[in-house]
Amino acid sequence: MKKKIGVYVCQCGTNIAGTVDVAKIADEIATENEDVAVCRYYKYMCSEPGQKLIRDDIAEMGLDCVVEASCSPKMHEPTFRNAVSQAGMNPYMFEMVNIREHCSWISKNPDLATKKAKDLVKGGISRVAHHQPLQGTRKPVTPAALVVGGGIAGITASLKIANAGYQVYMIEKDEIIGGRMAQFDKTFPTLDCAGCTLTPKTSEVGRHPNVEILTKSEVAEVTGFVGNFKVKVRQKPRYVSTEKCTGCGDCQPVCPIDITSDFEVGLATRHPISRPFPQAIPNTYSILRAGSPPCQTACPAGVNAVGYMNLTGMGKYDEALAVVRERMPFAAVCGRICFHPCESVCKRGLLDDPLAICYTKRFLGDRELARGEFVHPPLKEAKPDKVAIVGAGPAGLSAAYYLAIEGYPVTVFEKLPVAGGMLAVGIPDYRLPRDILNAEIDNLKGMGVEIRTGVAFGTDVTFDSLEAEGYKSFFIATGLHNSMSLKIQGEDLEGVVGGTDLLRKVSLDEPAAIGKKVVIIGGGNVAIDCARSCLRMGADEVIVLYRRSREEMPAWDIEVDEAEHEGVQFMFLAAPTRLIGDGKLSRIEYIRMELGEPDDSGRRRPQPVEGSETVMDVDTVVPAIGQASDPDFITKLDVELERWGTIRAAEGTLATTRPGVFAGGDCALGAASFVEAVAHGRQAAESIHHYLAHGGLRPLTPSETPMDEAVTEDEKRRAKPIPRQEMPRLSEAKRKGNFDEVDLGFTEEMAAAEGRRCLSCSLCCQCGECVRECGPQAIDLRETERVRELEIGAIVVATGIDIFDAGRYPEYGHGRYPDVITNLQFERLCNASGPTGGKVVRPSDGKVPRSVVFVQCVGSRDRAKGNEYCSKVCCMISAKQLSIFKHHNPDGQAYVFYIDNRAGGKGYEEFLRRTIEEDEARYIRGRVARVFREGGRLVVRGEDSLAGMPVEVEADMVVLATGLTAQKDYTAVARALNLSTDQYGFFIESHPKLGPVETSLSGIFLAGGAQGPKDIPESVAQGGAAGAEALALFSVGEVEVEPTVAGVDERLCTGCRTCVELCAYNAVSFSEECKAAFINEALCQGCGTCAAACPVAAIHVQHYTPEQIMAQIEGILA
């Protein structure tokens, strides 16, 4: 049936009529197609009389649909849709054709433009004939706003919304709100103090009941649509609770770390725990931490090395030992035998040498042992449940220590006559003297831990017998004490002693028949210890046979070097094939090897060389190729085992398959290190405590995110010029024939020196000084990162601006000469709470500058540097700053190199005039070429384009008026909110004139510098406007959702499922019962991807159906 169409062509003053012959189009259209009931043209269709034309025609002629040819639909489509709906026509029976931006404005050739405009109108007419009346759905609006950014724009928007009674969540990246303005001293043109205008606002926001401020947080993800956003916010920890902290500031002076302050723009340093200025909101302190430092991340036990090194540097040895003991109970033992992974990743190592973390820990442990004390955290109140620990090795003892602190009665059962496990029987005395070990073990006994040696678990006691005695939980820490067999002929001959057995015999002073010539098989630490022990037990010749080459040896380099110094010979690429002798070992046959392809562990697999067997006389052979668990003991435990015969223990909780039984250390890990065993002990203790207190397994808390490894400029500045301390050692001669300790240990001065070398790269080193100092106990260093989910109705993006990096103009010398500063740094100089307390002095020598040169447009209006726009505010900033400078020293002289003085605001020009007349500032029109030092003073060479000649000005201080740029992390915000940005990174507003605070996404608004460089009045105005937009949404209470979503025609859909995979919002699913695709309208965004892909065209997006678009194509090309 024919549709009655009304066509209206707008002249838009001369914008369209200037090139497009609107009259000609109007009457040609009226004559050419018959279903056009009326075709008019008018000067301003979007004006009230224009819209009235349409409304009257609809009423009188009963038009079915209307085509409007004028400007872009993005501008006036809503206007005309309202006009037609007021006249009773469904708004979707309207089609808008853009003949201004796409026709009249882009062409100088009138008839081509007219032809194009007419084609587009014809396209619109044939499209509108296929339009269907549609009704949008109404969805409720969540009456809560999210303001991203706590600057002046964000604060204004938040106050507008909160004062209207709606909930506001303000998200701020820094520790305080206030944004850039907080750093200013005075504001132009009225010279009133920035602080005085800002702080009332920030405190009002601070204590406003409807506003919740989330500092140190950023938007992670936004889903949903206008009025129904779901926002995920990631909040970094402040470590100081905002309720308890009174802001007294006692904690600040005791903090040992000094870092450069971003708030002071590099002019001063601050402590990680600090508050930028007294009136800051939130008024409490907060701690800046870059994340888990590399050394702490690398340490299996997670010992806070940065903490205790800095404390040692300050001479606070007891506190340092307390920090160590949080994660490592046996400081003295660890300081001697740990393989110190922390030192290999220490950032100081990238500058000169890493810190001697391990040896310093030994000094702390030895100092306490020397005093005979044992300081440990107070034992908690005793608990009834008894815990049995099997094996008194490092894992068992560390579990005993931590359980004792928790207050559990602990009994440790040890098969051998001595406690200490591998520490006692695996590591010879010259590395770990027996008395140090026993002292540390006795400390445990002092805590009430009962250690029963000579009791074999499985034979003397079993699970059942101990359960009968009231033991509720068990920890298996039996380690790996058997040495792997060589599996070659003659291994059972007399004179063949296993590696671990030899060390055990030596430690327990049992007779170990060692011949004159000893051959050790293997390349690990056990082999090296056996070799050095045999030398000390009188062997003349000790040869270590290893089947790979030197690089692949698993033993630590320092150990191998020491062995070589002591005379141990090494035979690489050799492996034993036969041990010859009748009853008693006499000769060993070995074969040459060569390295082939790397195996899956990455080490090159050795292959024997045929026919290279050689025979050698030998008295004793010591196979030390790996440790294994005691087979009959492990199998009797009836817990599940891993492939290599170690006990299967769950990651993190260390629970075995038998409830209440936990396992850790070498017996679960396989041959591992002392520090890993201690770490397992602590984890087992936590699991047992949780198991006994609550039952079941403890939840694993995520560890702190590690910081990045690159060395920053700030860290380089903090590196004190102290070389690494050398560990004094016993001379080779004195080592012969005895087991005295080789390393002699650090003195107090050496440890303190090492402590002061630390860069404290994680900023706050969690040393705990501030915790001890804080009266109201407001500081909790255990706080972790949190993600919060918010239901939000409207979002205001007020992320503000950043300052152009003046270093990109090397010719101006910023960073090379200390007296060349940016205008933000000058602002800090004038600020009373700034680094110089408000006195304008030269950063280099603190003298009062007599002549100051301001250089304008640094990083603005400069296409070469990629910032072509004008930053609007720097001319006025320089004018204000030079007048402040004149107040401070009236006889000073200010020069300003400018291109065009931009003073567009209210009272701006008058203020500028005054600086020129009263403050006698000399304005020189021209760009500056170079700033250089000559004869002790800075010289600014530029040109005076009015005089047409170069000019040089001597200056005590140079201030660069750096331009405003978008925030460095704008891409993260853009991606999270799905907003588009221009090439500089400023967010794109929906229309430069009509919608400066709206974006193309309904429900998301912009305010302040995020939308482009502007001054404070404009930011405040935009903040208010954005607030009003949000309030409009909340007051209406519901929002109409566009009906342009996709729908499936069941009659045509064949169920071929092409569409199901395509939807990014998985709004499309295949329903089995009605054998057709199903689209969930709430999720569908109407992008039409599935409609285009549907092979039978069964899916249509309302208002963008194929029928309509085909008709439009036909209309245009007809």
- Interaction pattern, residues 110-129, with another protein; x per rule: CB under 8 A: --xx-xx--xx--x------
Residues 39/45, Cβ–Cβ less than 8 Å:
no
Question: What is the full DSSP assignment across 561-581?
Answer: HHHHHTT-EEEESEEEEEEE-
Nearest to 1066 by CA among 1054, 1077, 1076, 1055: 1077
Check binding of 701 to another protein (CB under 8 A).
no
> Which residue, 500 or 990, is less far from another protein as judged by CB?
990
Distance CA 47, CA 261 (A): 56
Among 833, 981, 1080, 1102, binds another protein (CB under 8 A): 981
Would you say 97 and 12 are in contact if contact means Cβ atoms under 8 Å apart?
A: no
Q: Which is nearer to another protein, 248 or 1083 (CB)?
A: 1083
State the minimum distance, in angstroms, from the CB of residue 1009 to another protein. 18
Cite the DSSP H helix spans in 907-952. Answer: 908-917
Give min distance, CB of 204 to another protein, in A. Answer: 37
> Quick one: 235 or 1058, whose CB is closer to another protein?
1058
Enumerate residues 441-480 that contact another protein by CB under 8 A. none
The distance of closest approach from Cβ of residue 395 to another protein in the complex, given in angstroms and rounded to an integer, is 49
- Judged by CB under 8 A, which of 587, 816, 937, 1057 binds another protein? 1057
CB of 17 to another protein, least distance (A): 16
The owner of tokens 């029963």 is 452
When binding is defined by CB under 8 A, the residue of 137, 612, 945, 978 that contacts another protein is 978
Q: Between 61 and 994, whose beta carbon lies closer to another protein? A: 994
Cα angle 494, 496, 498; round to 5: 135
Say how far apart CA 347 and CA 483 lie, in whole Å. Answer: 38
Stretch that binds another protein, among 71-79, 465-473, 491-499, 832-840 (CB under 8 A): 71-79
CA distance 200 to 212: 17
93/527 with CB nearer another protein: 93
Residues near 900 by beta carbon (within 8 Å), at least 6 away in sequence: none
Least spacing, CB of residue 123 vs another protein, in Å:
7
Query: Among residues 300 and 1115, whose Cβ is nearest to another protein?
Result: 1115
Which residues on adjacent β-strands are paired with residue 794? 145
What SS3 state is found at 329? coil
**CB-nearer residue toward another protein: 354 or 1088:** 1088
Residues 733, 864, 949, 1064: which binds another protein (CB under 8 A)?
1064
Q: Report in angstroms how near the CB of residue 1106 gets to another protein at its nearest.
A: 7
**Per rule CB under 8 A, is residue 61 in the interface with another protein?**
no
User: Residues 84-113: x/- map of binding to another protein (CB under 8 A)?
Assistant: --------------x-xxxx-xxxxx--xx
Please report the DSSP string for 961-1007 in residue order.
EE-EEE-TTHHHHHHHHT--B-TTSPBPPSBTTTBSSB-SSTTEEE-
∠ CA 339-342-344, nearest 5°, is 85
Nearest approach, Cβ of residue 1070 and another protein (Å): 9
What is the number of other CB atoms lying within 10 angstroms of the CB of residue 374? 16
Q: What are phi and psi of 234, to 5 degrees?
A: -100, 120
- Quick check: bond before 282 cis, omega within 30? yes
Name which of 701 and 1054 has its Cβ closer to another protein. 1054
Contact map string, positions 1084 to 1103, toward another protein, x by CB under 8 A: -xxxxx-xxxxxxxx--x--
Residue 167 to residue 142: CA distance in whole angstroms = 10
Cα–Cα distance, 652 to 636 (Å, whole number): 25
Residue 549 binding another protein, by CB under 8 A: no
The residue type found at 426 is: G
Q: Which is nearer to another protein, 164 or 220 (CB)?
A: 220
Cis peptide leading into 253, omega within 30 of 0?
A: no
**Of residues 223, 980, 1035, 1066, which one binds another protein by CB under 8 A?**
980
Closest C-alpha among 584, 571, 387 to residue 469 = 387
**Which residue's CB is nearer to another protein, number 950 or number 992?**
992
Q: Which one of the spans 187-195, 630-638, 693-701, 1081-1089 is the region binding another protein (CB under 8 A)? A: 1081-1089
Q: Is there a contact between 528 and 544 (Cβ–Cβ < 8 Å)?
A: yes
For another protein, the binding residue among 52, 550, 937, 1075 (CB under 8 A) is 1075
| Residue 1055 binds another protein (CB under 8 A) | yes
Q: Out of 455, 488, 493, 1116, name the contact with another protein by CB under 8 A.
A: 1116
CA atoms of 202 and 865, how far apart (whole Å): 36
Closer of 896 and 1098 to another protein (Cβ) = 1098
Residue 431 backbone dihedrals phi, psi, to 5 degrees = -100, -40
Of 821 and 1053, CB closest to another protein = 1053
Contact 1070, 1078 (CB under 8 A): yes
| 40, 55, 74, 718: residue in contact with another protein (rule CB under 8 A) | 74
Widest distance between CA atoms in the chain: 125
State the Cα–Cα distance between residues 97 and 107, nearest whole angstrom. Answer: 17
Paired sense of beta strands 1038-1041 and 604-608, if any: unpaired
Find the binder of another protein among 929, 1049, 1069, 1080 (CB under 8 A): 1049
Size of site (CB under 8 A) for another protein: 68
Contact status, residue 537 vs residue 515, Cβ threshold 8 Å? no
Closer by beta carbon to another protein, 43 or else 74: 74
Nearer to another protein, 100 or 415 (CB): 100
Stretch binding another protein (CB under 8 A), from 30-38, 572-580, 654-662, 1053-1061: 1053-1061
Q: Does 1032 participate in binding another protein (rule CB under 8 A)? A: no
Alpha-carbon distance of 495 to 528, in angstroms, equals: 19
Task: Name the amino acid, one letter, at 587.
Answer: R
Residue 1001 CB, nearest approach to another protein (Å): 8
Dist. CA 596–CA 594, nearest whole Å: 6
Burial of residue 907 (number of CB atoms within 10 Å: 0-12, 13-18, 19+): exposed
- Considering only residues 11 through 40, tell me which ones interact with another protein, judged by CB under 8 A: none
Q: Is 370 in the site for another protein (CB under 8 A)?
A: no
Contact with another protein (CB under 8 A): which of 61, 1056, 1074, 1083? Answer: 1056
| DSSP symbol at 498 | -
Min. distance of Cβ 1091 from another protein in angstroms? 7
Q: Mention every residue, 6+ apart, whose C-beta is less than 8 A from residue 1092.
A: none
Q: How far is CA 784 from the centre of its chain?
A: 13
Helix (H, G, I), strand (E, B) or coil at 361: helix
- Binding-residue pattern over the window 995 to 1014 for another protein, x denoting contact by CB under 8 A: -----x--------------
- The stretch among 239-247, 612-620, 1016-1024, 1049-1057 that binds another protein (CB under 8 A) is 1049-1057
Q: Which is nearer to another protein, 270 or 1100 (CB)?
A: 1100
Binding flags for another protein, 290-319, as an x/- string (CB under 8 A): ------------------------------
If one asks whether residue 1060 binds another protein (CB under 8 A), the answer comes out as yes
DSSP helix/strand/coil, 297: helix
Site membership for another protein, residue 946 (CB under 8 A): no
User: Which DSSP letter does residue 757 get?
Assistant: T
Per CB under 8 A, residues contacting another protein are 72-74, 98, 100-103, 105-109, 112-113, 115-116, 119-120, 123, 978, 980-983, 988, 992, 1000, 1044, 1049, 1051-1058, 1060-1062, 1064-1065, 1075, 1085-1089, 1091-1098, 1101, 1104, 1106, 1109-1110, 1112-1114, 1116-1118
